[in-house]
Amino acid sequence: MTHVAYLVAGYGVTIGAIAGYLTWVLRRERALVVRLAARAEPPAPRTGSTR
Amino acid sequence: MPTRNGVTSALGAAAIVLLALTAVLALVVSPAEVNQGDSVRLLYLHVPTAWLALYLSFGVTSLASALYLWPRTRSRFWDMLAGASAEIGVLFLGLTLAVGSIWGRPTWGVWWTWDPRLTSTAVLFVLYLGYLAVRGVPGDQAVTSKRAAVVALAAFVDVPIIHQSVEWWRGQHQAASVLDDSRLLDPQITGTMATTLVVAVVAFTVLYAWLLAHRMRVFDLEHRAGQEDLTAALAERRAEAAELGSAARATP
């Protein structure tokens, strides 16, 4: 392996790990915010036909 | 409810800019080293990730754990801070070991060796994985948090051992270039290489703050969602009990 290959491996692992963790945290945060907001809203009144 | 505010947005923007600058300095501007050649460019990842994990993340975790254990300062905030910081620390300590291993292959000729610095760092990685496992044990939250805080403080004892390992024992890992107690004002790295290293350390510190802010918010939201789940479950049970009670009264 050349030095370039080691650099690609080192920088690739680091960028991948940081991006993966950040994505997981932000997705989890977004999902929880949506879940809590949906609960906070009162149920919409039923309208229209009752058939 | 927005998932970010002005502070986290500014931290995020600063982290991205500083990390991009680090990449340019490390891969383009900074020179190759006489003996190691281009592989020295891994230094600009290895040292900042080690700083972030060992000293910053686990230092904050230990401080927050001590404040949680002390009854006068005990609060959920310190417990969340300790947990969030430790999780980030474990991620970056894993990266320190991985990048160190990748750097070790062209420099030492091996991916891994049972050198005192490497071994004590691997032990710390396992200790903080254990800490995260203790935090995940179901049960009384207060008891779990106290146990986790004790584990965090016990695990942190390994950090000064890691720091001193290159002085105390003969090994393959080089001695400190910057945080050498006897040469703090005369580091063995200078010029563009020193500048790049400083920028990289600042970039990873800002990245830590950004990740910590978001991870703590996730902990807080999880706690609130858990509380609401509990309240909803209790209300459901009460409604069931009331229904059963009225049905029993109606039965002659």
User: What confidence tens digit (pLDDT) does each residue in B190-205 have?
Assistant: 788 999 999 999 999 9
Quote the tokens at residue B139. Answer: 């049960």
pLDDT reported for residue B184: 56
pLDDT tens, residue by residue, B163-186: 988 888 887 787 776 666 666 556
Selected for mutation to probe chain B from A1, A2, A11 (highest B CB count within 10 Å) is A11
pLDDT confidence tier of residue B43, bands split at 50, 70 and 90: very high
Of the pLDDT bands very low, low, confident and very high (cuts 50, 70, 90), residue B226 is: confident
What residue numbers bound the domain in which B66 lies? 14-30+37-210
Question: What CA–CA distances, in Å, run from B228 to B49, B177, B221, B223, B225?
Answer: 38, 52, 10, 9, 5
Look at residue B159 and tell me if it is in a domain: yes
Domain boundaries, chain A: 1-39
Q: Are B143 and B74 in contact (CB under 8 A)?
A: no
Q: Do A36 and B228 touch (CB under 8 A)?
A: yes
Residue B235 lies in a domain: no
Question: Residue B32's pLDDT is what?
Answer: 86
CA atoms within 13 A on the CB side of B44: 33
Nearest neighbour of A14 by CB, restricted to B45, B106, B225: B45
What pLDDT shows up at residue B243?
87
Q: Tell me the three state secondary structure of residue B224.
A: helix
ipTM: 0.86
Distance CA B135, CA B151 (A): 10
Dihedral sign, CA of A22, A26, A32, A35?
Answer: negative
pLDDT for the residue numbered B127: 97
How many Å apart are CA A29 and CA B248, to the nearest integer? 45
Tokens encoding B85: 């910081």
pLDDT over 90 (residue B249): no
Of B45, B214, B228, the CB nearest to A25: B214
Query: Which letter does DSSP use for residue A47 in this model?
Result: -
Q: What is the mean pLDDT of residues B103-110?
A: 92
Above 90 in pLDDT, residue B133? yes
> How much of chain B exceeds pLDDT 90, in percent?
67
**Chosen from A2, A24, A25, A28 to mutate, greatest number of chain B CBs within 10 A:** A25
Distance between CA atoms of B141 and B29, rounded to whole angstroms? 50
pLDDT of B60 > 70? The answer is: yes
In a domain, B237, yes or no: no
B7 belongs to a structural domain: no
For A1-51, write each residue's pLDDT tens digit. Answer: 678 999 999 999 999 999 999 999 999 999 999 988 887 776 666 666 555
Residue B58 sits in a domain whose CATH number is 1.20.120
Taking CA atoms, B218 is separated from B27, B123, B215, B223, in Å, by 35, 28, 5, 8
- Look at chain B and report how many structural domains it folds into: 1
In a domain, residue B52? The reply is: yes
Whether residue B91 lies within 8 A of chain A, CB to CB, comes out as yes
Alpha helices in B109-190 (DSSP H): 116-135, 141-156, 158-168
Give the long-range contacts of residues B4-12, CB within 8 A, separation 24 or more: B4/B214, B7/B213, B8/B210, B8/B213, B8/B214, B11/B206, B11/B209, B11/B210, B11/B213, B12/B210
In 3-state terms, what secondary structure has residue B180?
Answer: coil
Look at residue B231 and tell me if it is in a domain: no
pLDDT given for residue B199 in this prediction: 96
- What is the pLDDT at residue B247? 82
**Per-residue model confidence (pLDDT) at position B1:** 46
Average pLDDT score over chain B:
90
CA-derived radius of gyration, chain B: 24
